[in-house]
Amino acid sequence: MINLTDSHLALELARAINELHPDRFVEQRAVMYARSGSGNEVDFVPLPVHRGGTETRTVPLEAKWVTHNWRSEALVMRGRYGAVLLGTKNIVDLDGDIWAIPAPMVALLLQ
């Protein structure tokens, strides 16, 4: 199920970024992942986007099909990027700089 979640979030994130920058995929500057120093994968790293004349970055996004112990899953990303969004199975927690939102809701919000 995690591969399907990754794929769906990647698709919706790509669509949302394409709405802001239709040329991003032509220029091969698309949604990317990264590896931490310890080899852990970060699913969707922050990308620069322009909106309303302002340049900003997307929030790093990680798909984790979990129902508990989700904060430990975000430590690598928080250490590297600060703010983090986890697309989870069913957890909602918007406290602090690590947010957990069910992946289907994240996909819906990106539409």
Count of residues in the chain: 111
The tokens 């979640």 sit on which residue? 5
Q: What is the pLDDT of residues 65-111, one digit of tens each?
A: 888 888 887 887 888 888 889 999 999 999 988 999 999 999 898 88
% of the chain with per-residue pLDDT over 90: 15
Give pLDDT, residue 43.
80
Q: Which residue has the higher pLDDT, 24 or 48?
A: 48
Residue 20 reports pLDDT greater than 70: yes
Q: Which residue has the higher pLDDT, 45 or 88?
A: 88
CA 34, 37, 38, 39 dihedral sign is positive
CA 77, 99, 66, 5 dihedral sign is negative
Give pLDDT, residue 31.
60
